[in-house]
Homo-oligomer: A and B are copies of this chain.
Amino acid sequence: MKNLIIASTSTLHGSGYLEYLLDELSLFFEDVETIVFIPYARPSGISHEDYTAKVKDAFKKINKNVKGIHEFDNPAEAIENAEAIFTGGGNTFVLLYQLYKNQLIEPLKKAIRKGTPYLGTSAGSNICGLTINTTNDMPIVYPPSFKALGFVPFNINPHYLDPIKNNTHMGETRETRINEFHAFYSQPVIGLREGSWLRVKGKSIVLKGTLSARIFEYKKVAFEIEVNTELNHLK
């Protein structure tokens, strides 16, 4: 049975890394001793080692061990044997490029199918959608495909931002960008605001956190959904 937390962000403004999620994660990883961490997204270009050290520190607070996937000789085997998996944020293109390069797409899909608990934040959540066509990230590397893991049957836009009132900058709003996506593809997109997450259990996909989320469906007007909304019909 699928068992995932797909979070918009790792960090809320003014709070520590993963802090807002720690109570939830304590329950989520209740039976887990060691989490395999995927540091490939490299926020600010930091090394896999430095990123893993930061994640280790955060999980110490709930008494969990963390091992970076780069520490294993065989990353596919590491995923296969993992008690639990966490993919952190950073750059979605860099992350997906590295997953393809290390041939981890199929092992990850297999692990999630058999019920290995998976936590994603930001880029690590983006890749849980059908494709990364709705990431906010800069395309700093060219992955062999934009196809992602498809743990949920729609696309995800993490760090969703509402249009800023009286903004004088002429770059597109997030909503305009997602509408442009729908000029080419028909799958739904969920705009997850910082502080929101999706809780996936088997076929159930429920919005959690304190904020509403925004749903973009093909040829429909975007609309808000409230916390605890079941999204298993969205596809």
Contacts and interface: CB of A to CB of B under 8 A. Distances in A.
B146 A45 contact: no
Given A139-B133, A141-B184, A185-B140, A169 B179 contact: no
B180 A91 contact: yes
A26 interface: no
Interface string A168-191: 111110001111111111000000
Nearest to A136: B171
B176 A169 contact: no
Interface string A1-41: 00000000101111000000000000000000000000000
Nearest to A144: B142
How many of these chains are in the complex? 2
Given A169-B13, A169-B161, A171-B159, A182 B45 contact: yes
Contacts of A14: 168
Contacts of A135: 138-139
A194 B180 contact: no
Contacts of A140: 133-134, 177, 180-181, 183-185
Nearest to A97: B184
Contacts of A159: 169-171
Contacts of A139: 93, 132-133, 135, 139, 146
A138 B177 contact: yes
